Structures are given as structure tokens and as C-alpha cells.
Amino acid sequence: MNNRFTTHRTISLIGMPGVGKSTVGVILAKLCGLGFCDTDLAIQQRQGASLQDILEEHGNQGFRRVEQEVLLDVDLEDAVVSTGGSVIFSRPVMDRLKAAGPLVYLRADIVTLEQRVAANPLRGIARDRSQTFADVYAERCPIYEHYADVAVDAADGSADQVAAAIHNALS
């Protein structure tokens, strides 16, 4: 990579649940010769529970506090970082990620995301109980756009193709 993003060896992926941040992130890390950090896994390891269990026990706001604590502590150097979909609600975390390197927004249409999320019904999604998936989508997408240095369509093509598109966009 030979542009302004080469000053940092960290690339953070943001976007909705089901967009493919973890899958694409592993492939992108290989393309870039970087490590890989899945912050949802880091949260689960730290708490000794699944995301869904954490959400059920602590609620949406409690989950976000745990998420912020973990993301302010996790090692970001020399890594592709796959973030949870709600990370955008923590200004300190977003400031940290932005300082570490480019933020890549993986976007997809709501129909694609609903299909992917429905395929994994045990997936924990940080939201208020009254919020539908469409509500979450409408609330978050403008915030992802706000923070993104680069946006890549994750609905068209395979995970390999999406990772290659990110790599090309950052080169």
C-alpha cells in the first residue's frame, strides 16, 4: 500500500451485522500481510460468554460499555480489525480506530443483510428490544458513512472479491 494509509498498519472494518466483516477481514489480513483481530471474539473471551448471553444479561447499554472497555484495550497494531456493528456508538473507540488507520465501511442492502442474519438466529445484535432490524439499519448506516474513509459494497461478489476491492481501494 503506497498512499496515506501506509503510515498505519491497521485497517478497521465497520458495518452492519451480517455484512461479512469477520470473513472478509481474515482474507484481507492475508492480502495485506497483517494479523487479524475480531473484536466480537475478544469481547466473548473477556466476558466468558456469547454476545447473545452478554446482551441478555447486561442489556444493550451494558453490552456497549463492555464493548467500549474491550476496544479501548485490545491491541490494534499490524492488524485488520473486524468490529462489532455497534462500535460506532462509542466516540472514544471510533477516535482510537481512526487514529490507528483507515476505517472501511462494508455496506450491503437490507434484504441481503436480513437473509444473512436470519441464517444465524443466535447471533447477538446490540439493539433496544423495541428496535427492528430495519430500525437498526436506518439508525446505523448514516453513522458508518460518517466515519468511513472508504466504503465497499459487500453484497456483490464473494468474500475474496470484497477483500480484493478493499485492498485495491487502499492501494
pLDDT digits (tens, 9 = 90+) for 127-161: 777 788 899 999 999 999 999 999 999 998 899 99
Q: Are 171 and 1 in contact, with CB atoms under 8 Å apart?
A: yes
Please give the radius of gyration of the chain, using alpha carbons only, rounded to the nearest integer: 15
Q: Are 14 and 104 in contact, with CB atoms under 8 Å apart?
A: yes
pTM of the model: 0.90
pLDDT, tens digit, 9 for 90 and up, residues 153-171: 999 889 999 999 999 999 8
Domains and CATH numbers, the chain: 4-170 (3.40.50.300)
Q: Are 29 and 171 in contact, with CB atoms under 8 Å apart?
A: no
Distance CA 90, CA 94 (A): 6
pLDDT at 60 over 60: yes
